[in-house]
Amino acid sequence: MSGYFSALAAVQTLAELAAEDRRLVLVAQDFGPLRGFTERFPDRHIDVGISEENLVGVAAGLAHAGKLPFVLGMAPFVSMRGFEQIRDDCAYNRNNVKFLVPFAGLEAGPWGATHHAIEDIALLRSIPGLTLLSPADPNESLKAVRAAAVTDGPVYIRLGFLAPIDGYDAAFRVGEIVTLRDGADAAILATGSCVRTALAAHDALAARGVAVRVLNVHTLKPLDRGAVERAARDTGRLVTVEEHFVDGGLGGAVAEVLAELGAGRLRRVGVRDRFCTEVAPYPELLRIHGIDAAGVEAAVMELVA
């Protein structure tokens, strides 16, 4: 389901939280009435129009004065235009602002490179005190929203194109990587929509006799270093998967851990150092950039061979 619909589903969770917590306000940009929330809490749905910097600044002010603002905006614009406000007004000033941002990754597809959010992990990972969440399926998105509401400080929830993962209903603990499959030959660390991709690669590899561990990195910051180090020690071969530039993204974050650990080989699946200028539907764009089960499988086989 599109990150947009994940966000709309999350708004229902926000309405439930808003009924319990009078501080909660929804600060949106040009989203119109949000069914389930706006009619119940008309004063607490604030739409500031198309102005990301103002959006984030206003949210910081609301938080400063004791509110619990959830910002609803588009990932590419909130993370890039709003970056300095996130850094200065939310994180540096220690304001409790939550961000719910659909269109993370390449979901916007043929809308073009302006609408792709494949830098936000790199940007937001650099901000002290910020929590960066990237849920793997719609159900986990709702858990992330609830976790964000009770996490101190700014929290950015990155919503990509998410489909349900069958049988997945693990407890959501901020900062803890979830092991979805175990295996000793290699470990795949995936985030957001790419967790399903990793599971598909796992099955294909299993059929070839290669047993891989699949890890859901739903919290990109703070990164669960312990789980990354264990994967490196146990398997020696890691593959990261993300809808993001590999430099500075999950791939970069894992590379940093491995370099300091001095152990483990790494392959990174994601967008290389170029804009995704091909005009193509979203799934096709992923395939072009090798962010699919075949791409992950190939990366694992490079290490295992």
Partner 1 sequence: MPGPTDLTVLRRRATALRRHVVSIAAAQHCHLGGSLSCADLMAALFFDFLQLADTPERRRDRFLLSKGHAVHVFHACLAELGKIDAAELPESGRSGSRLGGHPTRRAPGVEFATGSLGHALSVGVGIAMAEQLDGSPSRTVVMLGDGELQEGTVWEAALCAPRFGLEHLLAIVDFNKFQSAGAVANVLPLDPLAEKWRAFRWNVREIDGHDMAAIVAALHALPAQQGPTVLIAHTVKGKGVPGIEGTARAHYTSLNEDEARRAYAALEPGA
Burial 53-65 (b: 16+ CB within 10 A, else e): bebbbbbbebbbe
Establish if 31 lies at the interface with partner 1 (CB under 8 A): no
> Among 4, 5, 92, 168, which residue interacts with partner 1 (rule: CB under 8 A)?
92
Give CA–CA dist 8/27, Å, rounded.
Answer: 14
CB of 227 to partner 1, least distance (A): 34
Judged by beta carbon, residue 66 or residue 167, the one nearer partner 1 is 66
What does the block give as tokens for 121? 């992990």
Among candidate residues 141, 187, 188, 180, the one with its CA nearest the CA of residue 163: 141
- Distances in Å between the Cα of 99 and the Cα atoms of 25, 130, 230, 297 are 12, 11, 31, 33
Judged by beta carbon, residue 52 or residue 242, the one nearer partner 1 is 52
Establish if 302 lies at the interface with partner 1 (CB under 8 A): no
CB of 87 to partner 1, least distance (A): 9
Establish if 17 lies at the interface with partner 1 (CB under 8 A): no
Question: Chain centroid to CA 291: how far?
Answer: 15
> Among 7, 11, 34, 59, which residue interacts with partner 1 (rule: CB under 8 A)?
59
User: What's the distance, Cα to Cα, between the start and end of the chain in Å?
Assistant: 36
Q: How buried is 105 (Cβ within 10 angstroms: 0-12 exposed, 13-18 middle, 19+ buried)?
A: buried
Establish if 53 lies at the interface with partner 1 (CB under 8 A): yes
Establish if 46 lies at the interface with partner 1 (CB under 8 A): yes
| Candidates 50-58, 138-146, 229-237, 261-269; binding stretch for partner 1 (CB under 8 A) | 50-58
CB 168 within 8 A of CB 141: no
> Among 13, 44, 196, 232, which residue interacts with partner 1 (rule: CB under 8 A)?
44
- How would you classify residue 67: left for phi > 0, otherwise alpha for psi between -120 and 50, otherwise beta? beta
> Which residues lie below 8 Å from residue 43, measured CB to CB, with a gap of 6+?
none
| Candidates 5-13, 61-69, 176-184, 269-277; binding stretch for partner 1 (CB under 8 A) | 61-69
Establish if 152 lies at the interface with partner 1 (CB under 8 A): no
| Candidates 87-95, 155-163, 182-190, 209-217; binding stretch for partner 1 (CB under 8 A) | 87-95
Provide the binding-site residues for partner 1, judged by CB under 8 A.
25, 43-44, 46, 48-49, 51, 53-54, 56-67, 69, 84-85, 88-89, 92-93
